[in-house]
Amino acid sequence: MVFQKRLDYGFNGYQVPRGCRSARGRSSLKRKLEDTQMGAFELLATVAGKLLQEREASPAHSNVSGGIGTTMQATVGKDNVKLEQRDEEKPLKVESCDQGSSGETSLVSKPNQNKCLDEFSHVVSDPASLMVNCDKSVNAEDRNEIVPETCIFNNMLELDTKPPALVSSDSSIGIHPSSGPFPGCRGNVKLVSRDDDDNSSGCTQPSTTPLKSSRTPPRLEDRKIKKVLESKYWEVAPKLEGELSNTNGYIKPISHNEKVFYTRQRSLRNTLKRRKLDKRAVSTSDGGVSSEVISNSSKNGKNGNTNSLFSTTHGGNGVSSSSAAGHESSSQSKDAHVKLSIKSFRVPELFIEIPETATVGSLKRSVMEAVAAIIGEGLHVGVLYQGKKIRDDSKTLLQTGICDDDKLDGLGFALEPNPTNGSHFSPKDPPYLVQSDVPQLLTRYPLSPGIDAGLSDASPDTPLTNLTNCVESDHDSVLSPTDMSIDKTMPDSRALVPHPSMSVDALAVVPLHRKSRRSDLVQRRIRRPFSVHEVEALVHAVEKLGTGRWRDVKLRAFDNAKHRTYVDLKADDKTDNYSVLEYINFVFWGSDKWKTLVHTARISPQQRRGEPVPQELLDRVLAAHAYWSQQQAKQQVKQLTGTCLLLKT
């Protein structure tokens, strides 16, 4: 049997909140999304945080986030924000081969197994939270149907805040040979595999969903989104007996009270921009460990598989959907079984780092091992109900109220690190260490506290920690002095670098930051601080030509200096709003000289760094800047009045 598993994002229909609709916000968002260094997940997570806050502020909105159990839908489309990926995504498929004892996986879409991993780095390093999702591509269609204006943020937020509870599965979803079923799992859930293309009934249909979304044709933008999202998927089609299959599953409602547990995973595929990254890493984004549950009220059998799981969620009102169908079932008592659809589980963060020289084959193996390791480590399922974690395993569903259909939406599951194994998620104790035949040792940077928190505490008690940490962690920095000089972005990188002092042939699979960096191959220009002489020339040229004709300025002042491009000289108005990073950056690199100069001229001498620029020059800078700014303003006024006149006549 072949499971099509997919690692999915942990988002659900989500529409960009107001605050994110500005042009600036969009372009920035876009940029970030396109930049593999920041995945949609993080971005949205950020937005999500705001959303949540808003929600809290005005309870009236609380129901907007209904539907638990949707697949993410990043609706950032519309307007200028086209989150399309530029390169045709090549479905990076990783499938496990049952032939051979190694359980090696193979990248299907890539013909050359020995290809340099560079090509995939952006894929694996993508931050998208590897949320295992059991949806099928077919459903993708449904997923696009987002009810406009509805902010649905199920997965992350909802889960974290609310939850659900209960999971069961007696089947062995075990991953690698050594791993067994999740501890604590019980119940009448059956684990089954099913065909890939089976579009499924399984995942489809929770009960009556008031959502009309499923009927509405997907909008264009949404498709784009879909594409984007899907582009990040990485298809995994494990054939091995137990590999990743349990990461995520669905419980499909069947006619009798039996649930089928599907597993499907989707993962990162080629992402947005093709980019060379220097490190490759496999990561599940946010260390989060949450899940969603969709209640199914198919007790009366007739609607057993009629509704789409996705549609419920989409509408974002899983709440209503469940309640609608819920009543009748709740009336039946006793032997009634509670039917749940676990839409997805988020797997804990997983990072893999392997040398560039490693083969694709070893990459696959590593990923496999990492997954196996993490699961084998002993994850357990946490049950959340109505926002509370249910710790007492002995309680019956009845007692906890979980059997109440119209409340099933308050049920949630979360994969959590095994309590007895907490240390595995500590920064000091690498969670997953995988041996590999790749002869290079990589050291890892400490896990950021944020990530840590996400891993070790994904409980509902800390709703946003995952998100915020996830985002914030991007700014954490642990840098290597070596890389620092090469790449300024290194600071927030958690990439592993080969550690010379260590030998061994171990391949560390550790939590590291998801972002990968630009390839070393694409080296940045070397830093060439402007000399006082150059500054003088620049100032002189600007005085003459003004700020705006940088090409001319360049020609005049640095005609024979080919390392000075006009871009390096341009001015900037917001010079006094530099962030620390920017400032340091500018000072360090001495670029965009005019921008820097203006800034420098405005700050106190003590704050200046680098080769001191004569005050006289700085004064000229300010003067010239002021003068030309004024000129520009005049120009604009002129133009404006001009157009006004034109309009009048």
Partner DNA sequence: CTTAGGG
Partner DNA sequence: CCCTAAG
Closest distance of CB 115 from DNA, Å: 22
CA distances 362 to 94, 304, 507, Å, are 12, 43, 10
Cβ closer to DNA: 314 or 570? 570
Contact 396, 404 (CB under 8 A): no
Binding range to DNA, per CB under 7 A, among 451-459, 499-507, 522-530, 599-607: 522-530
Binding range to DNA, per CB under 7 A, among 40-48, 239-247, 302-310, 545-553: 545-553
CA distances 567 to 547, 550, 554, 557, 562, Å, are 12, 7, 9, 13, 12
- Residue 417 one-letter amino acid: P
Contact 263, 3 (CB under 8 A): yes
Binding range to DNA, per CB under 7 A, among 216-224, 233-241, 438-446, 549-557: 549-557
d(CA 34, CA 7): 19
The answer to whether 28 contacts DNA (rule: CB under 7 A) is yes
Q: Could you give the string, one character per residue 42-81, with x where binding to DNA holds by CB under 7 A and - elsewhere? A: --------------------------------------x-
- DSSP symbols for 3-41: --EEEE-S--EEE--GGG-SHHHHHHHHHHHHSTTS-HH
Cβ closer to DNA: 369 or 487? 487
Q: What is the widest separation between alpha-carbon atoms in the chain?
A: 89
d(CA 176, CA 181): 11
The answer to whether 31 contacts DNA (rule: CB under 7 A) is yes
d(CA 357, CA 440): 9
The answer to whether 527 contacts DNA (rule: CB under 7 A) is yes
Cβ closer to DNA: 27 or 420? 27
Cβ closer to DNA: 25 or 446? 25
Total interface residues for DNA by CB under 7 A: 41
Report CA torsion sign: 114, 116, 118, 119. negative
For DNA, the binding residue among 391, 533, 563, 648 (CB under 7 A) is 563
Binding range to DNA, per CB under 7 A, among 8-16, 130-138, 326-334, 564-572: 564-572
Burial label for 98, CB within 10 Å (0-12, 13-18, 19+), is middle
The answer to whether 533 contacts DNA (rule: CB under 7 A) is no
Contact 287, 118 (CB under 8 A): no
Cβ closer to DNA: 264 or 595? 595
Cβ closer to DNA: 170 or 582? 582
Tokens of 210: 């008031």
Closest distance of CB 338 from DNA, Å: 48
Closest distance of CB 348 from DNA, Å: 29
In the block, tokens 């061994």 appear at 504
DSSP reduced 3-state for 372: helix
405: Cβ contacts below 8 Å, ≥ 6 apart:
295, 297, 299, 322, 323, 325, 326, 327, 329, 330, 338
For DNA, the binding residue among 1, 220, 521, 522 (CB under 7 A) is 522
Contact 68, 153 (CB under 8 A): no
The answer to whether 548 contacts DNA (rule: CB under 7 A) is yes
For DNA, the binding residue among 10, 12, 33, 34 (CB under 7 A) is 34
237: left (phi over 0), alpha (psi -120 to 50) or beta: beta
Cβ closer to DNA: 28 or 102? 28
Binding range to DNA, per CB under 7 A, among 61-69, 285-293, 316-324, 563-571: 563-571
**Euclidean distance between the first and the last CA atom of the chain, given in angstroms as a whole number:** 76
The answer to whether 573 contacts DNA (rule: CB under 7 A) is yes
Cβ closer to DNA: 190 or 549? 549
The answer to whether 524 contacts DNA (rule: CB under 7 A) is yes
Report CA torsion sign: 155, 161, 164, 166. positive
Q: Could you give the string, one character per residue 471-490, with x where binding to DNA holds by CB under 7 A and - elsewhere? A: -----------------x--
Strands 497-498 and 411-417, how do they pair?
A: unpaired
d(CA 431, CA 421): 10
For DNA, the binding residue among 18, 327, 574, 634 (CB under 7 A) is 574
Q: Could you give the string, one character per residue 580-619, with x where binding to DNA holds by CB under 7 A and - elsewhere? A: --x--xx--xxxx--x------------------------
The answer to whether 27 contacts DNA (rule: CB under 7 A) is yes
Q: Could you give the string, one character per residue 360-379, with x where binding to DNA holds by CB under 7 A and - elsewhere? A: --------------------
Q: Could you give the string, one character per residue 160-179, with x where binding to DNA holds by CB under 7 A and - elsewhere? A: --------------------
The answer to whether 567 contacts DNA (rule: CB under 7 A) is yes
DSSP 467: I
Cβ closer to DNA: 24 or 428? 24
d(CA 84, CA 358): 30
Cβ closer to DNA: 28 or 443? 28
Contact 472, 536 (CB under 8 A): no
Closest distance of CB 573 from DNA, Å: 6
Cβ closer to DNA: 141 or 487? 487
The answer to whether 564 contacts DNA (rule: CB under 7 A) is yes
Contact 77, 29 (CB under 8 A): no
CA distances 598 to 206, 538, 622, Å, are 61, 12, 6
The answer to whether 568 contacts DNA (rule: CB under 7 A) is yes
- Residue 71 one-letter amino acid: T
Q: Could you give the string, one character per residue 223-262, with x where binding to DNA holds by CB under 7 A and - elsewhere? A: ----------------------------------------
Binding range to DNA, per CB under 7 A, among 212-220, 361-369, 518-526, 536-544: 518-526
Contacting DNA within 268-307 (CB under 7 A): 273
Contacting DNA within 76-115 (CB under 7 A): 80
d(CA 566, CA 555): 8
Interface residues with DNA (CB under 7 A)?
A: 24, 27-28, 30-31, 34-35, 80, 273, 488, 518, 522-528, 547-552, 563-564, 566-568, 570, 572-574, 582, 585-586, 589-592, 595
